């Protein structure tokens, strides 16, 4: 039986949700990740330092016994965010601010309209060393959904990185060759996260043979040439690209719906899904950098000291995850067989 031992990885982009959902999502992530960047798009959103610290306390209360998992908190930018709010958040231990264009994804209605109005906030973030995390899509209704990432680069992200060269920017969950090229060509202060779904799937997996709601996420899956471009940058072992699952839980009935929610709940198989990709590409020796090193280096945080071990033993991703209240969720890749399994959870 083959084994792979890695420095304990981190998830640099995920959604825990809140309240009763935390009892499911926090242990699912803590089983293999030491830290995670926690998205702030709750209802209401996490817009202040005090709200971030209150949310962090709820997450810590949901950790498994003896777990040392650390949530890394973020602030949700709105048109009301001020430079003083950024300074207060930095002092409280918030590590980044999240830019959602209004209407771009789940719970983003309160987000930013008129991105240029936030330039004074970006200036302060650059000054105090607060990272900017970007959902990079325009939201104008006339723009084709498959072109929204590319157009965001041209109209917003390029100008932001030019105006604030010392601001660290993470282009989150990139989906296109244009995004990969932009990050590669940008300065060392620009990086990107890549999800398992955008490495494993393309839009055929969403649309061919009927719409598959559990593969629906935002940004939406793109054509196979874009999927291949993402696999190539992962294989390149560039430190500009690192692990961010964008794990996003939704109840089954909200996904299997005439207006189904966007998001793939990948937490319970996250590291195994990435191992599947790296195995397919014949680069398992590069998984540790992507999962455990590059993100910590970019955020300026120490690398984790522990390790995890993956064992080559095929297993099937569960068809359902059931919450304590009986709510059903369908995990990403449900029913499919993966080749690698986290050793500590083997039965």
Q: Which residues are annotated as a binding site?
A: 13, 15-17, 41, 98, 135, 173, 218, 246, 250, 262
Euclidean distance between CA atoms 117 and 102, whole angstroms: 14
Euclidean distance between CA atoms 172 and 136, whole angstroms: 7
The two three-digit tokens of residue 294, written as one number = 């590059």
Strands 337-342 and 131-134: unpaired
Going by the DSSP 8-state scheme, the letter that residue 34 receives in this structure is S
- For 266-288, letters b (16+ CB in 10 Å) and e give bbbbbbbbbbbbbbeeebbeebb
Binding residues for substrate: 15-17, 41, 135, 218, 250, 262
The two three-digit tokens of residue 233, written as one number = 């940058």
- Nearest 5°: phi and psi at 270? -60, -55
Binding residues for Zn(2+): 13, 15, 98, 135, 173, 246
The two three-digit tokens of residue 219, written as one number = 């940004």
Helix or strand (DSSP H, E) at 31 = none
Q: Give SS3 for 3.
A: strand
Euclidean distance between CA atoms 57 and 51, whole angstroms: 10
C-alpha angle with apex 294: 95 to 167, nearest 5 degrees? 45
Euclidean distance between CA atoms 339 and 74, whole angstroms: 34
Q: For this structure, is 84 an active site residue?
A: no
Q: Which of 11, 20, 166, 246 is catalytic?
A: 246
Euclidean distance between CA atoms 26 and 31, whole angstroms: 9
Three-state secondary structure of 246-304: CECCCCHHHHCCCCCCCCECCHHHHHHHHHHHHHHCCCHHHHHHHHHHHHHHHHCCCCC
- Could you tell me if 326 and 20 are in contact, meaning their C-beta atoms sit under 8 angstroms apart? no
Bridge partners, 322 (sequence order):
328
Euclidean distance between CA atoms 140 and 101, whole angstroms: 10
- Nearest 5°: phi and psi at 308? -125, 160
Give me the active site residues, please. 246
């Amino acid at each position: 039986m083959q084994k792979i031992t890695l420095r304990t990885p981190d998830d640099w982009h995920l959604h825990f949700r809140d309240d009763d959902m935390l009892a499911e999502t926090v242990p699912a992530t803590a089983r293999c990740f030491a830290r995670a960047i926690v998205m702030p798009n709750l209802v209401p959103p996490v817009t202040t330092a005090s709200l971030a610290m209150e949310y962090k306390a709820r997450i810590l209360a949901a950790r498994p016994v003896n777990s040392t998992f650390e949530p890394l908190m973020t602030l949700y930018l709105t048109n009301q965010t001020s430079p003083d709010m950024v300074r207060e958040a930095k002092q409280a231990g918030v590590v980044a601010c999240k830019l959602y264009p209004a209407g771009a994804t789940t719970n983003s209605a309160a987000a930013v309209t008129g991105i240029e109005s936030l330039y004074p906030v970006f200036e302060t973030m650059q000054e105090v060393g607060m990272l900017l995390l970007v959902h990079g899509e325009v939201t104008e209704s006339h723009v084709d959904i498959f072109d929204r990432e590319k157009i965001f680069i041209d109209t917003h992200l390029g100008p932001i990185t030019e105006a604030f060269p010392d601001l660290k920017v993470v282009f989150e969950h990139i989906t296109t060759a244009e995004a990969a090229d932009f990050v590669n060509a940008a300065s060392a202060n620009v990086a990107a996260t890549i999800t398992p779904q955008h490495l494993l799937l393309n839009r055929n997996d969403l649309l061919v043979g009927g719409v598959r709601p559990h593969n629906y996420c935002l940004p939406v899956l793109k054509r196979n040439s874009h999927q291949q471009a993402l696999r190539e940058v992962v294989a390149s072992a560039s430190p500009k690209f690192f692990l961010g699952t964008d794990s996003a839980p939704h109840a089954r009935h909200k996904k299997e719906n005439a207006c189904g929610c966007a998001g793939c709940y990948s937490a319970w198989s996250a590291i195994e899904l990435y191992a599947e990709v790296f195995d397919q590409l014949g680069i398992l020796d590069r998984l540790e950098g992507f999962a455990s090193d590059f993100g910590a280096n970019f955020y300026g945080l120490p690398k984790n000291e522990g390790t995890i071990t993956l064992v080559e033993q095929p297993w099937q991703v569960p068809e359902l995850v059931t919450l304590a209240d009986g709510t059903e969720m369908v995990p990403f890749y449900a029913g499919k067989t993966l080749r690698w399994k986290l050793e500590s959870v083997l039965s």
